[in-house]
Amino acid sequence: MSKKKEIAPGHDLFAAATAAIAVDKLTEKDAAAELERLAGEIAEHDRRYHGEDAPTISDAEYDALRLRNNAIEARFPKLIRPDSPSHRVGAKASEKFAKVVHARPMLSLDNAFADEDVTDFVARIRRFLGLGDDVPLTFTCEPKIDGLSASLRYENGVLVQAATRGDGTEGEDITANVRTITDIPLRLKGKAPAVLEVRGEVYMTHKEFERIVAEQEAENRERAEKGKKELPVYANPRNSAAGSLRQLDPAVTASRKLNFFAYAWGEASDMPADTQSGMLSAFKNFGFVVNPLIRQAATVEEILAFYREIGEKRALLPYDIDGVVYKIDSLELQQRLGFISRSPRWAIAHKFPAEQAETTVEDIDIQVGRTGKLTPVAKLKPVTVGGVVVQNATLHNQDYIAKLDVRIGDTVVIQRAGDVIPQVVRVVEDKRPKASKPYKFPDKCPVCGSHAVREVDEKTGKEDVDRRCTGGLICPAQAVERLRHFVSRDCFDIEGMGEKAIQSFFEDGLIKEPADIFQLSQKHAEALLEREGWGEQSVKKLFEAIDARRQIPLDRFINALGIRHVGETTAKLLARHFHTLLAFYEGLNSKTATTDLQAIDGIGETVAKAIKDFYDEPRNLAALFRLARELTVLDVAAPAASGSPVAGKTVVFTGSLEKMTRQEAKARAESLGAKVASSVSKKTDIVIAGPGAGSKLAEAEKHGVQVMNEDEWLGLIGG
């Protein structure tokens, strides 16, 4: 038995994953809009997958989103967003557990889907390091376990803390539960480093999953006989492992046999080896289980041969895998290669193809999201794909439906590689009912009845792929979603203001805009006490939760405003640049605001214009001032790397570099706390000029910016 999955309200950013417009046909405006949708959609799915163990799309569908994002960014590098999915990992830690800040971030991996992707991965490494094809490289190859990532901290050989990945920076403390897993040693064997964080995957075998499902189904039969509500049954071993590990009662975790493979590390006071394979051998000596299928490879051909071999063994393995991971074996080369925000340059996950099945489209529903976008959702005749029952599939947008000619009553091919909502691949036309009619996409909002239109690009005359409701000020769907975004975990994170409360308060006129939330206790305390389900204690807790958020960091405040193209990462970038709310106001009020914003590394023209447009709308500004009067917005300090002479400084590279590639130089500067900008202004601190430096060098001299050559720069940062 599998859990029923629903598309959550506001599921409105999925369209670009398989949008009708090919990447090579996108205009710059199209590309910016699609990157915005992808950033929001992927962030939401990361939260559901990592934070709630309740994904609402398949692995294949999720991977398609990332592929689309990467392709657009490759074609339009200037449009890469600070909140791009390539900068993000996982989701925020659950409030049920204490939070743990990782000593070193737990990052995710980029994905490969074809042999060519793996060839490109190896070629990129050689280009980055400046290595010719004749220089040997060694890789480790290992099955990608489909479980829950965990980090185990040992001090003087004793397990002192265990944490989930969370958002990559902060996870959940699951120490008590991890101690129940027999694969994980409580004390390390031999002579281990004084501090060692071992990372790996907690998973559940097929046999154990079948046992748990049988027990749950038996319990549900008993509950049904007694008229009690049935308990949900886990959909697959991955969800079961995650749910078991994140139990509040460790006894429940102990009753379910979980396993652990060690494959990586975080903080270490001393390195037991200088290679990836050597570290895995050390883990085995310390008492960990290391996957015996891991192998070394020296060529792309050997790597791909391992992938095919594991693919053939996949069905016979006692646990789930969804691909193969390749890593550079040399730790020295790993360090040189470094990271690209959310993922290392020295590793990649080669994913397996998706599974497919046929089912029938019983209906097509239209959902309206926070931005007014109308998203079509196919209601499917329930079908089991890879052991999971699926009932819903997003149809992305009007053009996608037209391209596939999806009709109610059609038999369609769906595919999934992991969980729940599938992707519609094609229509089986020879099974189409004779009386079927093409689906007519609505031109009015199903929520408020306002016109739903497709914006037209003034330059190209091309329609946007999305149809949007024009009733932004009156449409309940948009207003409620804006408020939900405001109180969400990454924004104000107000406990007790869930989706139902927001919807109910809005419908009854208690709140219409964010400032109203902070006036509830003054204006509507009695009305709340009279509401069903709200007693004196629950109302008191709600007011306390609201008051606890009357102080908010600047980055969360900016993120909560719901500015188009601005998400969590962009908000942090803006907060680190302006530092204070007053400076943020004054900066946007400047006649050169759009240009100044574009000078911030990571903010392009599209994002800058969206921020300025938000500020220039008087009603937005009035609402913002009303909100600010209710709050104390805390200043955000500039980032700094301890002991770094360039921490917090803005640097620009121009001309050719001879000692390292431009990519490596930028990564090194950012790791030391510097901000790397693409253009020179009076706010630039240092320009590193190599041979061939042109206009940027002239700008540096014009503004009196310090200029140094590559050797001087390397001397400053320590080589």
pLDDT higher than 60, residue 613: yes
DSSP string, 551-607: EEEHHHHHHHTT-TT--HHHHHHHHHHH-SHHHHHHHHHSTTHHHHHHTSTT--HHH
Q: What angle do CA 326, 329, 333 make, to 5 degrees?
A: 110
Strand ranges of the sheet holding 139-145, from the earlier edge strand across to the other edge: 111-112, 347-351, 321-328, 139-145, 295-297
Cβ burial of 35 (10 Å; 0-12, 13-18, 19+) is buried
Please report the pLDDT score of residue 9 as a whole number. Answer: 34
pLDDT higher than 80, residue 387: no
Please report the pLDDT score of residue 88 as a whole number. Answer: 55
Final residue of a structural domain among 515, 548, 581: 548
Q: Which of 4, 25, 99, 144 is catalytic?
A: 144
| Whether residue 378 is found in the same domain as residue 302 | no
**Which tops the pLDDT comparison, 32 or 663?**
32
Final residue of a structural domain among 634, 664, 680: 634
| Whether residue 530 is found in the same domain as residue 608 | no
Domain harbouring 559, CATH code: 1.10.150.20
Tokens of 98: 């204490």
pLDDT higher than 80, residue 641: no
| Whether residue 314 is found in the same domain as residue 373 | no
**Mean pLDDT (whole number) for 318-333:** 95
Secondary structure (H, E, C), 194-236: CEEEEEEEEECCHHHHHHHHHHHHHHHHHHHHCCCCCCCCCCC
Give dist(CA 383, CA 389) in Å, integer. Answer: 5
Please report the pLDDT score of residue 401 as a whole number. Answer: 94
| Whether residue 119 is found in the same domain as residue 140 | yes
Expressed as residue numbers, the domain containing 505 is 494-548
Identify whether 172 is part of a domain. yes
Which helix (H) or strand (E) is 101 found in, with range? strand 99-101
CA nearest 422: which of 458, 374, 381, 455? 381
Domain harbouring 310, CATH code: 3.30.470.30
Q: What percent of the chain has pLDDT over 70?
A: 90
**Mean pLDDT (whole number) for 690-717:** 88
Give dist(CA 263, CA 282) in Å, integer. Answer: 11
CA nearest 271: which of 260, 263, 282? 282
Binned at pLDDT 50, 70 and 90, residue 17 comes out as very low
Identify whether 479 is part of a domain. no
Identify whether 486 is part of a domain. no
Render pLDDT for 442-497 as a digit per residue (tens, 0 to 9): 999 898 788 888 876 645 777 888 898 876 546 777 788 888 889 988 899 998 89
Neighbours of 126 (CB within 10 A): 13
**Mean pLDDT (whole number) for 166-190:** 90
pLDDT higher than 60, residue 127: yes
Please report the pLDDT score of residue 11 as a whole number. Answer: 36
Binned at pLDDT 50, 70 and 90, residue 402 comes out as very high
**Which tops the pLDDT comparison, 622 or 491?**
491
| Whether residue 507 is found in the same domain as residue 597 | no
| Whether residue 332 is found in the same domain as residue 363 | no
Identify whether 91 is part of a domain. no
| Whether residue 254 is found in the same domain as residue 176 | yes
What are the Cα distances from residue 144, in Å, to 7, 303, 314, 323, 339? Answer: 27, 14, 11, 5, 20
First to last CA, the chain: 59
Segment among 198-212, 377-391, 439-453 with least mean pLDDT:
377-391
pLDDT higher than 80, residue 558: yes
Identify whether 475 is part of a domain. no
**Mean pLDDT (whole number) for 632-650:** 76
Q: What percent of the chain has pLDDT over 90?
A: 40
Please report the pLDDT score of residue 85 as a whole number. Answer: 75
Please report the pLDDT score of residue 386 as a whole number. Answer: 61
pLDDT higher than 70, residue 419: no
| Whether residue 214 is found in the same domain as residue 302 | yes
| Whether residue 690 is found in the same domain as residue 709 | yes
**Which tops the pLDDT comparison, 79 or 564?**
79
Domain harbouring 677, CATH code: 3.40.50.10190
Q: What angle do CA 618, 620, 624 make, to 5 degrees?
A: 115
Final residue of a structural domain among 324, 351, 378: 351
Binned at pLDDT 50, 70 and 90, residue 50 comes out as low
Identify whether 261 is part of a domain. yes
**Which tops the pLDDT comparison, 475 or 376?**
376
**Which tops the pLDDT comparison, 683 or 151?**
151
Binned at pLDDT 50, 70 and 90, residue 71 comes out as confident
**Which tops the pLDDT comparison, 501 or 621?**
501
Please report the pLDDT score of residue 546 as a whole number. Answer: 95
| Whether residue 206 is found in the same domain as residue 311 | yes
Please report the pLDDT score of residue 93 as a whole number. Answer: 56
Please report the pLDDT score of residue 669 as a whole number. Answer: 85
Strand ranges of the sheet holding 148-155, from the earlier edge strand across to the other edge: 158-164, 148-155, 195-203, 259-268
Please report the pLDDT score of residue 14 as a whole number. Answer: 36
Q: How many domains does the chain have?
A: 5
Give dist(CA 645, CA 655) in Å, integer. Answer: 23
Segment among 147-156, 539-548, 586-595 with least mean pLDDT:
586-595
pLDDT higher than 50, residue 12: no
Domain harbouring 385, CATH code: 2.40.50.140
Please report the pLDDT score of residue 115 as a whole number. Answer: 95
| Whether residue 23 is found in the same domain as residue 144 | no
Please report the pLDDT score of residue 29 as a whole number. Answer: 87
pLDDT higher than 90, residue 638: no
Render pLDDT for 256-308 as a digit per residue (tens, 0 to 9): 899 999 999 999 999 999 999 999 999 999 999 999 999 999 999 999 999 99
Identify whether 244 is part of a domain. yes
| Whether residue 434 is found in the same domain as residue 543 | no
Q: Which segments of 314-462 does DSSP mark as H helices, in order?
A: 331-337, 398-404
pLDDT higher than 90, residue 617: no
Identify whether 480 is part of a domain. no
Contacts of 679 (CB under 8 A, 6+ apart): 598, 599, 652, 696, 699
Specify whether 144 is catalytic.
Answer: yes
**Mean pLDDT (whole number) for 218-236:** 74
Please report the pLDDT score of residue 3 as a whole number. Answer: 34
**Mean pLDDT (whole number) for 137-143:** 97
Mean pLDDT taken over the chain = 85
